[in-house]
Chain A
Amino acid sequence: MPRVPIGRAAVEKKGWFRANRWLLLRRTSQLLIIALFLIGPLAFVEWSDDAEEKIWLIKGSLASNVVLDTVPLSDPFIYLQTLLSGQAFEQTVLIGALIVTLFYLLVGGRVYCSWVCPMNIVTDSAGWLRRKLGLKKKCELSPNLRFWVLGLVMVMALVAGNLLWELVNPVTLLQRGLLYGMGAGWMVVAALFLYDLLWSRNGWCGHLCPMGAFYSLLGRLSLVRVRAVDREACNDCMDCFVVCPEPQVIRPALKGEDGVSPLIDESLCTNCGRCIDICGPEVFRFGGRFNK
Chain B
Amino acid sequence: MSNKKRLDRREFITRSGKMVGGLALLGGAISGYGKQAASMPAYAIRPPGALPEEDFLGACIRCGICVKDCPYDILHLAQWQEEVALGTPYFIARDIPCEMCEKIYCVRNCPTGALDRLMENIEKSRMGVAVLVDQETCLNMLGLRCDICYRVCPVLDKAITLERFHNPRTKSHTLFVPTVHSDSCTGCGKCEYACPLPIAAIKVLPESLAKGQAGEHYRLGWKEKEKRGGALVTPDIEHQYNLPEGFQYDLLGEGLIAPQKQGGQ
Which residues of A are interface residues toward B (Cβ below 8 A)?
Answer: 51, 56, 59-61, 63-66, 69, 72, 74-75, 78-79, 82, 85-90, 92-93, 96, 142, 145, 148-149, 152, 155-157, 160-169, 172-173, 176-177, 179-185, 187-188
Would you call A164 and B61 a contact (CB within 8 A)?
no
| Interchain nearest-CB distance for A192 vs B (Å) | 13
Rounded to whole angstroms, the CA-CA distance of A185 and B87 in the bound complex is: 11
Rounded to whole angstroms, the CA-CA distance of A60 and B67 in the bound complex is: 8
- Among the 9-residue stretches B28-36, B180-188, B211-219, the one with 4 or more Cβ atoms under 8 Å from chain A is B28-36
Would you call A156 and B61 a contact (CB within 8 A)?
no
| Interchain nearest-CB distance for B64 vs A (Å) | 5
Rounded to whole angstroms, the CA-CA distance of A239 and B86 in the bound complex is: 40
* Nearest A-chain residue to B85, judged by Cβ: A167
Q: Does B146 contact A (CB under 8 A)?
A: no
Q: Does B82 contact A (CB under 8 A)?
A: yes
Instruction: Pick from B59, B63, B64, B113 the residue with the most CB of A within 10 Å.
Output: B63
Q: How large is the interface on B (under 10, 10 to 19, 20 to 34, 35 or more residues)?
A: 35 or more
Would you call B31 and A74 a contact (CB within 8 A)?
no
Chain B residues near A156: list those with CB within 8 A.
27, 30-31, 34
Would you call B63 and A63 a contact (CB within 8 A)?
yes
Would you call B64 and A148 a contact (CB within 8 A)?
no
Query: 1/0 per residue B45-86: CB within 8 Å of A?
Result: 000000100110111111111011100000011011110011
Contact of B61 among A51, A63, A179, A180 (CB under 8 A): A63
Q: Does B38 contact A (CB under 8 A)?
A: yes
Would you call B61 and A82 a contact (CB within 8 A)?
yes
Contact of B87 among A87, A88, A176 (CB under 8 A): A176
Rounded to whole angstroms, the CA-CA distance of A82 and B51 in the bound complex is: 14
22 contacts between A and B (CB under 8 A): A56-B68, A63-B63, A64-B63, A66-B65, A66-B111, A78-B62, A82-B59, A85-B58, A90-B113, A96-B111, A156-B27, A162-B38, A162-B57, A163-B57, A164-B30, A172-B62, A173-B86, A176-B64, A176-B87, A179-B64, A183-B79, A183-B81
Chain B residues near A89: list those with CB within 8 A.
113
Which residues of B are interface residues toward A (Cβ below 8 A)?
Answer: 15, 19, 23, 26-27, 30-31, 33-34, 37-38, 51, 54-55, 57-65, 67-69, 76-77, 79-82, 85-87, 103, 109, 111-114
Contact of A184 among B19, B27, B81 (CB under 8 A): B81
Contact of A88 among B34, B37, B113 (CB under 8 A): B113
Would you call A164 and B87 a contact (CB within 8 A)?
no
Chain B residues near A176: list those with CB within 8 A.
62, 64, 77, 87
* Nearest A-chain residue to B37, judged by Cβ: A167
Would you call B65 and A64 a contact (CB within 8 A)?
yes
Chain B residues near A181: list those with CB within 8 A.
77, 79
Chain A residues near B51: list those with CB within 8 A.
87
Rounded to whole angstroms, the CA-CA distance of A33 and B215 in the bound complex is: 56
Rounded to whole angstroms, the CA-CA distance of A155 and B58 in the bound complex is: 13
Would you call B34 and A162 a contact (CB within 8 A)?
yes
Q: Do A152 and B26 form a contact, CB below 8 Å, given A59-B68, A162-B57, A163-B57? A: yes
* Nearest B-chain residue to A66, judged by Cβ: B109
Q: Do A93 and B111 form a contact, CB below 8 Å, given A142-B15, A166-B86? A: yes
Q: Do A78 and B61 form a contact, CB below 8 Å, given A60-B68, A142-B15, A177-B79? A: yes
Rounded to whole angstroms, the CA-CA distance of A167 and B172 in the bound complex is: 57
* Nearest A-chain residue to B63, judged by Cβ: A64
Chain A residues near B23: list those with CB within 8 A.
148-149, 152
